[in-house]
Each structure stands twice: as structure tokens, then as C-alpha cells.
Amino acid sequence: MKTLFNTLLLAFWGIAAFAQFTQPALPYAYNALEPYIDAATMEIHYSKHHKAYVDNLNKAVVGTEYEKMTIDQLTGAITESTPAPIRNNGGGVWNHTFFWNCMAPNSGGNPTGALADAITTQWGDVAKFKEAFKKAALGQFGSGWAWLVVADKKLAIVATPNQDNPLMPVSSVKGTPVLAIDVWEHAYYLKYQNKRGDYVDQFWNVVDWKTVEKRYTEALK
Ligand code: MN3
């Protein structure tokens, strides 16, 4: 029994040592955000795209200074001299895990509490904020992300190309993300085709404002 335990432990250690970065479970079922985000898109996005970023990051970090870092540490250590596969896949891992947790079933509606107050202060009202966020999402040429961040204790909307994010020292825009939308075509093309604006409009139906508000409060500390 003890031998079996040791064998299992060694096997687990072997896998763990190889797979430094892991893919957290999706916090809901593939079809949980229907009809706004369809099940097929969620399944491909999570089980193919996100997984590929994790697998490719694990290959890319072997023998580098990034190998023993957590994903947060790695994201915070991306500079101009970071090899592209580490920058791109590292961002891909962090961004998608963050993105899944921006959304939840039976959510949507409007922000509340301190976050709602800050949005109103910054943009006048929630509708104007959503308009500005959509503009950033549509304005990101090609693949990338739009973000709501806290920078200098204030909210700001920024966009990043590819898999960059505002936590990376290499990013031209900086801040602590509280909300993000993936505007790569793989995030919406099956359901919305070329209509990125429609996808952004429907995204509001699945935004988990409770989580966004929690992140906002944390970012102010
Ligand atoms: Mn994606």
C-alpha cells in the first residue's frame, strides 16, 4: 500500500513538474451563458484555444527564468526582451482565466455599489460607460482585448493587441484589470460572424458585476 502511494506520488510529481502552468476548470458549463455566448464557442474557446496557450506556455518556459514563476509573476515580468512564445501564451493563459471569471450565468444587469458610483463619476452613467467600452472593443484592430482597469485609483478603459494585458510591463497601457472582453474572432465568430459590435452588446447580459466590483474594491487597496 505504501509502495502504491509512493508510486502515485511520484507519478503526480512527474506530471506536476512537467505541467508547471495548469488550466483552471471553467467555472460553469459550456452552455451556461446561452444564448449570449453559445456552447460551441465556449467549448472550442476553453478546451482548444485556452488549453493550447497553457500547453504552449509549458513548452516555451522550459529552461528559462519564467519556468518557476506563478502565472501572475510571469505576467508581471513580460518585457521587450521576453521571447514571443512566452509573452503570447503567458498572456493567453492569464487573460482567458480572467475572462471566464468576468462572466456568470444569471448575471448581467447593471453594476452596483462603489463600482457603480465610480462609473457614474467617470462616464456620467452606465449607458455612456458601455458605449465607451464598446468603442474600445471595436477600435482594437485585429485580435486583442478591451479592458476596464483601475489606474491611479481611477477607472479607465483601455485596449491591448494580441494577448497583451495591462499588467505586463511591456504594455503601452497599464492598470489593474477588473473587467475584460476577448475580441479575437474565435471568441464570437461562430455566433456573431463579423458583427463584433453585436457580440459586445450581448456580452453585458453575462457580465458578473459582483466579481467586477470585488476586483475594483481590491484594486483600490
Ligand atoms: Mn480567446
Report the side by side order of strands in the sheet with 176-182.
154-161, 144-151, 176-182
Could you read off the pLDDT tens digit of each residue along the chain, which spans 221 residues? Answer: 445 555 554 455 444 455 699 999 999 999 999 999 999 999 999 999 999 999 999 999 999 999 999 999 999 999 999 999 999 999 999 999 999 999 999 999 999 999 999 999 999 999 999 999 999 999 999 999 999 999 999 999 999 999 999 999 999 999 999 999 999 999 999 999 999 999 999 999 999 999 999 999 999 99
* DSSP secondary structure, 152-165, as one string: TTEEEEEEEETT--
CA of 85 from ligand 1 middle (Å) equals 16
CATH 3.55.40.20 fits 36-221, yes or no: yes
CA of 124 from ligand 1 middle (Å) equals 31
Predicted confidence at residue 10, as pLDDT, reads 47
Tell me the C-alpha distance between 158 and 140, whole Å: 9
CA of 39 from ligand 1 middle (Å) equals 14
CA of 2 from ligand 1 middle (Å) equals 44
Q: Is the peptide bond before 35 cis (omega within 30 degrees of 0)?
A: yes
CA of 129 from ligand 1 middle (Å) equals 23
> 143 with 162: CB under 8 angstroms?
yes
In the beta sheet, which residues pair with residue 207?
103
CA of 49 from ligand 1 middle (Å) equals 6
Measure CA 210 to chain center: 16
CA of 145 from ligand 1 middle (Å) equals 9
- Cα dihedral 29, 34, 40, 43 sign: negative
Sequence ranges of the domains in the chain: 36-221
CA of 97 from ligand 1 middle (Å) equals 10
CA of 128 from ligand 1 middle (Å) equals 26
Predicted confidence at residue 203, as pLDDT, reads 98
188, exposed or middle or buried, with CB in 10 Å at 0-12, 13-18, 19+?
buried
At residue 110, what are phi and psi to the nearest 5 degrees?
-125, 155
**53, 167, 171 from 153: Cα distances, Å:** 31, 15, 19
CA of 96 from ligand 1 middle (Å) equals 6
CA of 67 from ligand 1 middle (Å) equals 23
